[in-house]
Chains A and B, each alone.
Chain A
Amino acid sequence: MSESGTLLADVLQVLLLQTHNTRTVVLSTALLGMASGLVGSFLLLRKRSLMGDALSHASLPGIAIAFLLMVKLGGNGKFLPGLLAGGTLTGLLGVGWVMAIRKKSKIKDDTAMGIVLSVFYGLGVAMLQMVSSVPEASAAGLESFILGKTASMVTQDLVLIAGVASLTILFSLLLLKEFTLLCFDETFMHSLGWPVQRVDTILLILVTAVTVIGLQAVGLILIIAFLITPAAAARFWTNTLSHMLLLAALIGALSGWLGSSISALYPNLPAGALIVLVAAGVFLFSMFFGGARGVLRRGWLHIRLRRRVGRQHLLRAVFELLEARGEALAGWPPNEPVKLEELLAKRSWSHGRLKQLLRQARREDHIERAPGSWVQLSESGFAEAARHTRNHRLWEMYLITHADVATQHVDRDADLVEHVLGVELVRKLEQKLTEEGVALNLPASPHLISKTVEPAS
Chain B
Amino acid sequence: MGIDAVLEDRPSASQRIREVPSHPDTVPLAIDDLTVAYQSKPVLWDIDLDIPEGKLVGIVGPNGAGKSTLIKACLDLVPKASGRVKVYGKAYSENRSLVGYVPQRESVDWDYPVSALDVVTMGTYGRIGLFNPVRKKHREEAMQALEHVGIGHLAKRQISQLSGGQQQRVFLARALAQDAKLYFMDEPFAAVDAATEQAIVGLLHELKEQGKTVLVVHHDLASVSQYFDWVVLLNMRVVNAGPTEEVFTRENLKATYGGKLALLDEAGQALRDSLR
Stretch of A2-10, A177-185, A298-306 contacting B (4+ beta carbons < 8 Å): A177-185
Docked-complex contact B76 and A190, CB < 8 angstroms: yes
Docked-complex contact B114 and A180, CB < 8 angstroms: yes
Q: Which chain A residues border B130 with CB–CB below 8 Å?
A: 178, 194-195
A193 to B95, CA, bound (A): 10
Given A239-B113, A241-B114, verify A184-B108 contact (CB < 8 Å): yes
The interface size bin for chain A is 20 to 34
Docked-complex contact A175 and B158, CB < 8 angstroms: no
Q: Is B244 on the interface with A (CB-CB < 8 A)?
A: no
Q: Is A45 on the interface with B (CB-CB < 8 A)?
A: yes
* Number of B positions contacting A (CB below 8 A): 31
Given A177-B133, A184-B108, A191-B75, verify A238-B122 contact (CB < 8 Å): no
A187 to B128, CA, bound (A): 18
A195 to B77, CA, bound (A): 12
Q: Which chain A residues border B194 with CB–CB below 8 Å?
A: 403-404
A404 to B197, CA, bound (A): 14
Docked-complex contact A185 and B122, CB < 8 angstroms: yes
Q: Which chain A residues border B195 with CB–CB below 8 Å?
A: 403
Docked-complex contact B122 and A188, CB < 8 angstroms: yes
Among A302-348, those with CB < 8 Å from B are: none
Given A181-B125, A241-B113, verify A187-B131 contact (CB < 8 Å): no
Q: Is B134 on the interface with A (CB-CB < 8 A)?
A: yes
Docked-complex contact A185 and B77, CB < 8 angstroms: no
Given A180-B114, A184-B119, A185-B108, verify A192-B96 contact (CB < 8 Å): yes
Q: Is A235 on the interface with B (CB-CB < 8 A)?
A: yes
Docked-complex contact B76 and A187, CB < 8 angstroms: no
Among A143-191, those with CB < 8 Å from B are: 174-175, 177-178, 180-181, 183-185, 187-188, 190-191
Q: Which chain B residues border A239 with CB–CB below 8 Å?
A: 113, 158, 160-161
Q: Which chain B residues border A193 with CB–CB below 8 Å?
A: 76, 93, 96, 126
Give the contacting residue for B103; candidates A175, A181, A185; CB below 8 A: A185
Q: Is B210 on the interface with A (CB-CB < 8 A)?
A: no
Q: Is A457 on the interface with B (CB-CB < 8 A)?
A: no
Docked-complex contact A178 and B131, CB < 8 angstroms: yes
Give the contacting residue for A187; candidates B99, B107, B115, B174; CB below 8 A: B107
Write the chain A residue with the least CB distance to B184: A191
B interface footprint on A90-133 (CB within 8 Å = 1, 0 otherwise): 00000000000000000000000000000000000000000000
B interface footprint on A225-263 (CB within 8 Å = 1, 0 otherwise): 000000000010011110010000000000000000000
A181 to B114, CA, bound (A): 10
A interface footprint on B186-219 (CB within 8 Å = 1, 0 otherwise): 0000000011000000000000000000000000
A238 to B194, CA, bound (A): 32
Write the chain B residue with the least CB distance to A45: B112
A238 to B160, CA, bound (A): 13
A180 to B118, CA, bound (A): 10
Instruction: Choose among A47, A175, A188, A238 the residue with the greatest number of B CB atoms under 10 Å from its CB.
Output: A188
Among B51-85, those with CB < 8 Å from A are: 75-77
Shortest C-beta distance, B163 to chain A (Å), equals 12
Give the contacting residue for A177; candidates B93, B103, B125, B126; CB below 8 A: B125
Q: Is B109 on the interface with A (CB-CB < 8 A)?
A: yes
Q: Is B101 on the interface with A (CB-CB < 8 A)?
A: yes
Docked-complex contact A244 and B113, CB < 8 angstroms: yes
Q: Which chain A residues border B96 with CB–CB below 8 Å?
A: 191-193
A190 to B71, CA, bound (A): 13
Q: Which chain B residues border A241 with CB–CB below 8 Å?
A: 112-114, 118
Write the chain B residue with the least CB distance to A181: B122
A180 to B114, CA, bound (A): 9
Give the contacting residue for B109; candidates A178, A184, A403; CB below 8 A: A184
A188 to B99, CA, bound (A): 12
Shortest C-beta distance, A166 to chain B (Å), equals 20
Write the chain A residue with the least CB distance to B133: A177
Write the chain B residue with the least CB distance to A405: B194
Shortest C-beta distance, A235 to chain B (Å), equals 7
A404 to B103, CA, bound (A): 29
Write the chain A residue with the least CB distance to B127: A192
A184 to B122, CA, bound (A): 10
Give the contacting residue for A191; candidates B77, B109, B131; CB below 8 A: B77
A235 to B76, CA, bound (A): 34
A192 to B125, CA, bound (A): 8
Docked-complex contact A188 and B101, CB < 8 angstroms: yes
Q: Which chain B residues border A184 with CB–CB below 8 Å?
A: 108-109, 112, 114, 119, 122
Residues on B close to A: CB < 8 A?
Answer: 75-77, 93, 96, 99, 101, 103, 107-109, 112-115, 118-119, 122, 125-126, 128, 130-131, 133-134, 158, 160-161, 174, 194-195
9 residue pairs of the A-B complex, CB under 8 angstroms, read A45-B113, A180-B118, A184-B108, A184-B109, A184-B114, A185-B108, A190-B75, A193-B93, A194-B130
Residues on A close to B: CB < 8 A?
Answer: 45, 47, 174-175, 177-178, 180-181, 183-185, 187-188, 190-195, 235, 238-241, 244, 403-404
Told that A187-B77, A404-B194 touch, could you supply 4 new A-B pairs with CB distance under 8 A? Answer: A193-B76, A193-B93, A194-B130, A239-B158
